Amino acid sequence: MARRRTGLSPRHKKILTFLETFLSEHGYPPSIREIGDHTQISSTSVVNYYLNQLAEMNYLERDSNVSRGINLLKTSNGSLLQNVNNAVTNLTEQLVSVPLVGNIVAGEPMPVPASDFSYYDPDSGIDVARSLLPAGDRLEDLYALRVHGDSMIDAMVNDGDIVVMKKTNQARNGEMVAIWLNDRDETTLKYFYLENGQVRLQPANPTMKPIIINDPSIVEVQGKVVLVIRRLDQ
Amino acid sequence: MARRRTGLSPRHKKILTFLETFLSEHGYPPSIREIGDHTQISSTSVVNYYLNQLAEMNYLERDSNVSRGINLLKTSNGSLLQNVNNAVTNLTEQLVSVPLVGNIVAGEPMPVPASDFSYYDPDSGIDVARSLLPAGDRLEDLYALRVHGDSMIDAMVNDGDIVVMKKTNQARNGEMVAIWLNDRDETTLKYFYLENGQVRLQPANPTMKPIIINDPSIVEVQGKVVLVIRRLDQ
DNA sequence: CTTGACACCGAACATTTGTTCTGTTATTAT
DNA sequence: ATAATAACAGAACAAATGTTCGGTGTCAAG
């Protein structure tokens, strides 16, 4: 009887390590010839031989007659990979591009995007760490607006600031919301309180007085502010 | 002139979605023909046409004359996507953890960290997209402070806001800097101007008056503000 | 010494695959 | 109505790519 294979040989390990490195750098697996080139195996049939063994040992799956048809399942140190991108998707969802859909100015109702963002230009999104955004909020409910003019200073928001909004038309007490006031033809950002049938709109600047609205029906909530970003380098 | 492309068309999105799904199920990208088969595009040259556009818009990279030579970078909802093993590296490049080193309050000189951040606990960093930070600035010159108290409202900065600072002890005109005023025992954030031998410290709130300092030597610049972040969900 | 299994190999071939070429059609501005 | 451009298409071709075939060499068991 010949010698019996016990686990991974040095050549197995070399192939697996090369697979991991190549995949992480390129986003797709190497070809049989590329594996051979980088592991000093001169024959495609030997690479094929070893890949089949790694498949038997559940380090990878192969799809036959498919170029680069290798799905890496385990690394050379035995760590499981479910597949190429499932692990990464969890990581890379940490950085989100929030669509910048327009400007917010006092004298106009602010733009609220349609549901599908079909006009959306990805180059104009604002990159935001997921950890700065409210947990549990769906990303597709978020959009960004750039502040235009000095009219939001009572909200402690400057001309040029970015506000990240969540779509909503209902406010809870203590939330900062964008409100269109019908009687004044004005958009404003304020903390919202509904008290005894009246609406109190509290400026962010604590030295300023609130607006009291006796008739809540003239208050149109257009969105909730979840984040303000001010870049000072521009 | 014909119609102009604005962002992703439905076919772009369909292709991206298929790429994501295929990649997550198979561990390798689809071929041109597989993409066509699943997106009702009958011609390999049209698939090629759309893939080239997605590459131009930085949703993916293509390697030419390589089978399945597609490296998916962004998903159809704009989330950044990277490969398994360099996900952390790429996130480090695009998503930065700026060390949160303490609080800034008016009555104290603000903390300025030592050069090496040897005490730095990465779990207490603030995650910031690299694209929001000044280009060219070294990340190790940046640190974050949390604002404590209402004393910064003239800088349009609220209690609880995060300011990202760059280490510097020199200010250029128009930059917002953190300044320790010796004669007042006070830290303040203001736009700095040196005019005719005097320092003008201009509040961010345009309705407020500047401070004029005749003797520039009592002005200690402790850092430059590069970003302000206000989270409203907490 | 013989045998069987494993490791290893080059070459040939078929299939897969991406690019290029040469168009047509649709859309929009002029 | 015309022109310019984008979107779309089929076919051809070359290159990339995986599988198969027919071997050789090594080693351990009998």
Q: Can you give the pLDDT of all 234 residues of chain B as single tens digits?
A: 444 445 788 899 899 989 988 988 899 999 999 999 999 999 999 999 999 999 999 899 999 999 999 999 877 765 555 444 344 444 446 777 788 888 888 777 777 766 544 444 445 678 888 888 887 777 778 888 888 877 777 778 888 889 999 888 888 888 888 888 877 777 888 888 888 888 888 888 777 888 888 888 888 888 899 999 998 875
Q: Test A71 with B133 for CB contact under 8 angstroms.
A: no
B136 touches chain A (CB under 8 A): no
Instruction: Provide CATH 2.10.109.10 ranges for chain A.
Output: 93-229
Minimum-distance CB partner of B225 among A29, A175, A232: A232
Minimum-distance CB partner of B29 among A28, A93, A129: A28
Query: Residues 103-142, chain A: which have Cβ under 7 A from strand C?
Result: none
CA pair distance B106, B104, nearest whole angstrom: 7
Nearest chain A residue (CA) to B72: A27
Does domain A93-229 match CATH 3.20.20.10? no
CA pair distance A226, B13, nearest whole angstrom: 28
pLDDT tens digit sequence for B167-190: 888 888 888 888 888 777 778 888
The CATH code for residues B10-81 is: 1.10.10.10
Instruction: Provide CATH 2.10.109.10 ranges for chain B.
Output: 94-229
Q: Test A20 with B128 for CB contact under 8 angstroms.
A: no
End-to-end CA distance of chain B: 50
More confident call, A197 vs A115? A197
- Architecture per CATH, domain A10-90, reads as Orthogonal Bundle (1.10)
Instruction: Provide CATH 1.10.10.10 ranges for chain B.
Output: 10-81
How many Cβ atoms are within 10 Å of B121's Cβ, its own excluded?
10
A142 touches chain B (CB under 8 A): no
| Nearest of A27, A195, A72, A75 to residue B63 by alpha carbon | A27
CA pair distance A226, A145, nearest whole angstrom: 12
Residue B195 pairs in a beta bridge with B198
Structure confidence at residue B234 (pLDDT): 58
Minimum-distance CB partner of B28 among A71, A134, A231: A71
Suggest the residue from B60, B150, B232, B234 to mutate for an interface test with chain A (most A CBs closer than 10 A).
Answer: B232
- What class has domain B94-229? mainly beta
pLDDT tens digit sequence for A9-19: 889 999 999 99
On average, the pLDDT of chain A sits at 81
The token duo for A75 is 């690394």
Q: Alpha carbon of B16 to those of A20, B19, B50, B170, B181: distances in Å?
A: 24, 5, 10, 48, 55
In angstroms and rounded to an integer, the radius of gyration of the C-alpha atoms of chain A is 28
Would you call B201 helix, strand, or coil by DSSP? strand
Structure confidence at residue A142 (pLDDT): 86
Structure confidence at residue B93 (pLDDT): 60
Tell if B31 CB is < 7 Å from nucleic strand C: yes
pLDDT tens digit sequence for A84-120: 444 444 445 677 878 888 888 877 777 776 654 444 4
Catalytic position from the list B190, B209, B217, B224: B190
A36 CA to C21 C1' in angstroms comes to 35
